[in-house]
Amino acid sequence: MLLNELWFLLIAILFIGFFFLEGYDFGVGMATRFVARDETERRVLINTIGPFWDANEVWMITAGGAMFAAFPNWYATLFSGFYVPLVFLLLLLIARGTAFEYRAKVDHPKWAGTWDWAIFIASLLCPFLWGVVFSTLVYGLPIDKNMNMHATFTSIVNPYSALGGVLITLLCLYHGLVYICLRTTDVIQARTRALAKKIFWVLAAAAIAFVVVTFFVTDLFTKRGLVLYPIYALDVILLILSAFFLSKKRDGWAFGMNAGVIVLTISSLFIGLFPRLMISNVKKAYDLTVYNSASGSYSLTVMTIVAVTLLPFVLGYSIWSYYVFRKRVSKEEHMEY
């Protein structure tokens, strides 16, 4: 039973890692329209995430794989239940990945321009779709006694989930802007900093709205209020601190603080869910939980050994890769993308 809880934690960590890492590259993708003024500036922005975006996406793929292995029922219900949104997500991710790799392969403004629109649109909509999915997870979904989810359009897209989508999108955008401040120089950096200060207020408003609505429409606070109140309090403090450090041009600190915001926000959703994986709004007994959806203890033990052995290596070479590319990207530099 302990293993079930451990794997819930591990999958939460994988998703937190995904939002923390791919979050900033989604944000940078959005910033290509909001910050960059010309082709060269767009290139600079895209090249700040050049060596990283692919590995960042693997956090999501690993989270999916871990769901499949540890909680097959969760994987089956979620992926078949969110069929149409996931088709869109896949199309967007496919376009986005190809765009990064292909945009600089032909030297023609229309060629790069087309791919850049793909990068922008996908970077905007992917976090939105994930936000929608995660907020419906805590809101509740039409899941029947066989664990099959029969979603209508409104059970996935409703005011609450749309708000969740907007929140995650803004969170990624702000995260990406702080990342750009950390990784660029001169004009681009100054312009990004100015925009980040504005986005901060929009993000703060969306975050407060989301927490308030969550209080009323979900059972998160009645179940886990004791943990969630301090988490959201800390969330607010870290967000304000990140804006403070940003205005003091301490970008590393600002990025660190906002990383904390992402970790806490995504954690709060998983904490609110636990021990449930998906909430059925048909009947409480139909909820998917870490106990009724999990693989056997043998399989979980094997997976635990494998994960504990491999994760240190993954973290090690990931950190090394960030160390290698620690230098800021400027217009004068050679750019691959």
3-state secondary structure of 293: coil
**Helix ranges restricted to H, the chain:** 2-34, 39-48, 53-70, 72-81, 83-102, 109-139, 153-156, 159-183, 186-217, 220-247, 251-273, 297-324
22 binds another protein (CB under 8 A): no
**How many chain residues are in contact with another protein, going by CB under 8 A?**
74
Q: Which listed residue (109, 110, 285, 296) binds another protein by CB under 8 A?
A: 296
- Residue written as token pair 């990140």: 242
Q: Which listed residue (76, 162, 217, 227) binds another protein by CB under 8 A?
A: 76
Contact between 61 and 75 (Cβ < 8 Å): no
- Of the chain, the end-to-end C-alpha distance in Å amounts to 47
Contact between 177 and 27 (Cβ < 8 Å): yes
Q: How far is the CB of 326 from another protein (least distance, A)?
A: 10
132 binds another protein (CB under 8 A): no
**Rounded distance between C-alpha atoms, residue 200 and residue 173, angstroms:** 10
Task: Pick between residue 247 and residue 321 the one whose CB is nearest to another protein.
Answer: 321
Least Cα distance to 127 among 209, 202, 18 occurs for 18
Q: Which listed residue (73, 189, 192, 289) binds another protein by CB under 8 A?
A: 73
Task: Pick between residue 244 and residue 322 the one whose CB is nearest to another protein.
Answer: 322
The b-or-e profile of 20-32 (16+ CB within 10 A means b, else e) is bbbbbbbbbbbbb
157 binds another protein (CB under 8 A): no
**Rounded distance between C-alpha atoms, residue 225 and residue 264, angstroms:** 14
Q: Enumerate residues 31-50 that contact another protein by CB under 8 A.
A: 40, 43, 50
Q: How far is the CB of 68 from another protein (least distance, A)?
A: 4
105 binds another protein (CB under 8 A): yes
Pattern 249-288, another protein, x by CB under 8 A: ----------------------------------------
Q: How far is the CB of 209 from another protein (least distance, A)?
A: 31
Rounded to 10 deg, the angle between the 2-34 and 186-217 helix axes is 130
299 binds another protein (CB under 8 A): yes
| Window contacting another protein (CB under 8 A); options: 252-260, 267-275, 277-285, 294-302 | 294-302
Q: How far is the CB of 235 from another protein (least distance, A)?
A: 29
Q: Which listed residue (27, 81, 127, 272) binds another protein by CB under 8 A?
A: 81
Q: How far is the CB of 219 from another protein (least distance, A)?
A: 25
Q: Enumerate residues 178-237 that contact another protein by CB under 8 A.
A: none
Return the number of other C-beta atoms located less than 10 Å from residue 62's C-beta: 19
Contact between 67 and 270 (Cβ < 8 Å): no
| Window contacting another protein (CB under 8 A); options: 202-210, 222-230, 232-240, 311-319 | 311-319
Least Cα distance to 177 among 205, 163, 198 occurs for 198
Q: Which listed residue (5, 6, 33, 72) binds another protein by CB under 8 A?
A: 72
Q: How far is the CB of 286 from another protein (least distance, A)?
A: 14
148 binds another protein (CB under 8 A): yes
Q: How far is the CB of 173 from another protein (least distance, A)?
A: 23
- Residue written as token pair 């990025």: 255
Return the number of other C-beta atoms located less than 10 Å from residue 285's C-beta: 8
83 binds another protein (CB under 8 A): yes
